[in-house]
Amino acid sequence: MLIIRKKKVAPLSKELKSLKLIELGLVCLKKNGTFAEKIKGQETVLVILGGQCRIKTGNYSFPLLGKRKDPFAGKATALYLPPYTSYDIIGESDCEIAVCKVRARRKGKPILISPDKVRLRKAGKDNFKRDVYDIVDERIKAEHIVVGETINEKGNWSSYPPHKHDRDNLPLESKQEELYFFKLEPPDGFGVIRLYNKKSDKIFTIKNNDVIAIPRGYHPVGVIPGYRIYYLWILAGKKRILKPSDDPKYSWVKEEG
């Protein structure tokens, strides 16, 4: 289920209702603006997309979080919160925070993920090179949630070769649903995403602040020349194991050259 707070975000497909584990919210604050929430049966990752804020949760206080003006300007700052906690966000400047949620039960403590803890991976080659940023991965003791960011350079593709993760078939593939939240630079550009499997084949135009759910199938992303595309991704499954399976029709590009 998609949850949007204080800013319009356009869902790209009715498939959002098909997500069973993942929710997304967007908190947009002016300087000194506030937002508060009590979390129940979900673990939550607050990803600061741009600006600075401070966050209070229980006996913990995290001042001056955020070191980038927007998602294209460096690594993220994020805060992992376990289920059954409350938090308050106070804007130190105009700021935008993604609220990433996944159903969970296990209690724990907040975990700050500073930019130096975000792992950068250079993925792909040629015109499917992209920067992948792992924010919440196996290094963070979460129950189900995995969070990261991807940036395609101008005219490039990502999630390529097309891959999927909709079957429990380890060690070849793990089952994970996913959600993407997009931004473009400059914001008037557009990208494309193709969602397909043996039963369905859909192509969507992506605009700034669009959201799409990926309950199943392959899902490559491209952007037009002259523009960069960013997407926040949230993954969740019963098992916290990431094992995507490439489309064999296109996997040969990994071996070329």
Q: Residue-wise pLDDT tens for the chain (257 aa)? A: 344 444 544 444 455 677 899 999 899 999 999 999 999 999 999 999 999 999 999 999 999 999 999 999 999 999 999 999 999 999 999 999 999 999 999 999 999 999 999 999 999 999 999 999 999 999 999 999 999 999 999 999 999 999 999 999 999 999 999 999 999 999 999 999 999 999 999 999 999 999 999 999 999 999 999 999 999 999 999 989 899 999 999 999 988 65
With vertex at residue 75, the alpha carbon angle to CA 162 and CA 136, rounded to the nearest 5 degrees, is: 65
Give the Cβ contact number of residue 205 at 10 Å: 10
Which pLDDT value is given to residue 15?
Answer: 55
Which pLDDT value is given to residue 255?
Answer: 82
- Report residue 202 CA to chain centroid gap: 21
Which pLDDT value is given to residue 2?
Answer: 42
Which pLDDT value is given to residue 16?
Answer: 64
Buried-state track 60-85, b at ≥16 Cβ within 10 A, e below 16: eebeebbebeebeeebbbbbbbbbbb
Q: Decide: 148 and 135 in contact? Cβ < 8 Å.
A: yes
Task: Measure the N-to-C terminal CA separation of the chain; round to a whole number of Å.
Answer: 42
The set of residues, in sequence order, having a beta carbon less than 8 Å from that of 114 and lying 6+ positions away, is 77
Task: Please identify which residue in the block is written with the tokens 């005219």.
Answer: 155
Which pLDDT value is given to residue 254?
Answer: 87
Which pLDDT value is given to residue 18?
Answer: 77
Confidence (pTM): 0.92
Give the Cβ contact number of residue 48 at 10 Å: 24
Tokens of 19: 């997500």
33 phi/psi in degrees, rounded to 5 = -70, 160
Q: Decide: 51 and 14 in contact? Cβ < 8 Å.
A: no
Which pLDDT value is given to residue 216?
Answer: 94
Buried-state track 176-191, b at ≥16 Cβ within 10 A, e below 16: bbbbbbbbbbeeebbb
Assigned architecture for domain 10-254: Sandwich (2.60)
The set of residues, in sequence order, having a beta carbon less than 8 Å from that of 75 and lying 6+ positions away, is 67, 68, 115, 116, 118, 120, 133
